[in-house]
Amino acid sequence: MILKNATVLNSCFEPVRADLATSGERIAEIAPNLQGRMNTGGEAVDLSGCTLVPGFVDIHIHASIGVDTCDASREGLKRVAAYLATKGVTSFCPTTMTVSSEEIRAALDNVRDCMEHPGPGARIAGVNMEGPYLSIHRKGAQKGEYIRTPDWRAFRDYYEGCGGIIKLLDVAPECEGAEELIRNASRLCTVSIAHTEADFAQAKQSFAWGVTHATHLYNAMSGFNHRAPGVVGAVFDTPAVSAELICDGFHIDPAVLRITFRVLGEDRTVIISDAMRAAGMKDGDYDLGGQNVQVRGGLARLAGGTIAGSTTNMHQEVKNLLSYGVPFRQVIKSATINPARQIHEDHQTGSLEPGKYADIVALDENMDIRLVVCRGEIAFRA
* Per-residue pLDDT at 36 exceeds 70: no
Please report the pLDDT score of residue 37 as a whole number.
Answer: 64
Q: Has 122 been labeled as part of a binding site?
A: no
Please report the pLDDT score of residue 349 as a whole number.
Answer: 98
C-alpha to C-alpha distance for 267 and 93, rounded to whole angstroms: 20
Please report the pLDDT score of residue 41 as a whole number.
Answer: 61
Please report the pLDDT score of residue 193 as a whole number.
Answer: 98
C-alpha to C-alpha distance for 328 and 305, rounded to whole angstroms: 34
Tell how strand 15-23 and strand 26-31 pair up. Answer: antiparallel
Q: Which fold has domain 56-342?
A: TIM Barrel (3.20.20)
Distance of CA 165 to the CA centre of its chain: 15
Active-site hit among 68, 248, 274, 359: 274
Burial (Cβ within 10 Å: 0-12, 13-18, ≥19) of residue 297: exposed
Please report the pLDDT score of residue 33 as a whole number.
Answer: 87
C-alpha to C-alpha distance for 113 and 233, rounded to whole angstroms: 40
Element (H, E) at 324: helix 314-324
Tell how strand 15-23 and strand 2-9 pair up. Answer: antiparallel
- List the one residue out of 64, 51, 59, 78 whose CA is nearest residue 371: 51
Q: Residues 312-369: pLDDT tens digits?
A: 999 999 999 999 999 999 999 999 999 999 999 999 999 999 999 999 999 999 999 9
What mean pLDDT value characterizes the chain?
95
Q: What is the arithmetic mean of pLDDT over 161-183?
A: 98
Q: Has 381 been labeled as part of a binding site?
A: no
Q: What is the arithmetic mean of pLDDT over 136-154?
A: 93
C-alpha to C-alpha distance for 145 and 371, rounded to whole angstroms: 44
Cβ proximity of 95 and 69 under 8 Å: yes
- Out of 4-18, 80-94, 279-293, which region has the weakest mean confidence (pLDDT)? 279-293
Report the chain's C-alpha Rg in angstroms.
20
Q: Is 4 helix (H, G, I), strand (E, B) or coil?
A: strand
Query: Is residue 274 annotated as part of the catalytic site, yes or no?
Result: yes
Q: What is the DSSP letter of 148?
A: -
Question: pLDDT class for 88, splitting at 50, 70, 90?
Answer: very high
- Domain spans in the chain, listed from the N-terminal domain onward: 2-52+355-381, 56-342
Question: pLDDT class for 43, splitting at 50, 70, 90?
Answer: confident
Residue by residue, DSSP assigns 110-125 as HHHHHHHS--SSSEE-
Q: Has 130 been labeled as part of a binding site?
A: yes
Tell how strand 89-96 and strand 127-129 pair up. Answer: parallel
Question: pLDDT class for 34, splitting at 50, 70, 90?
Answer: confident
Question: pLDDT class for 288, splitting at 50, 70, 90?
Answer: confident
Q: Has 309 been labeled as part of a binding site?
A: yes
Assign domain 2-52+355-381 to a CATH class: mainly beta
Burial (Cβ within 10 Å: 0-12, 13-18, ≥19) of residue 41: exposed
Residue of 115 and 41 predicted with greater confidence: 115
Element (H, E) at 245: strand 242-246
Strand order in the sheet with 291-296: 284-288, 291-296, 299-302
Q: List Cα–Cα distances, 221 to 47, 171, 174, 373, in angstroms.
A: 44, 12, 12, 37
Question: pLDDT class for 39, splitting at 50, 70, 90?
Answer: low
C-alpha to C-alpha distance for 81 and 5, rounded to whole angstroms: 29
Tally the C-alpha atoms within 13 A of residue 78's C-alpha that lie toward its C-beta: 10
Q: Has 185 been labeled as part of a binding site?
A: no
The pTM of the whole model exceeds 0.85: yes
Cβ proximity of 352 and 20 under 8 Å: yes
Q: Has 226 been labeled as part of a binding site?
A: no
Please report the pLDDT score of residue 46 as a whole number.
Answer: 95
Helical packing angle, 178-185 and 152-161, nearest 10°: 30
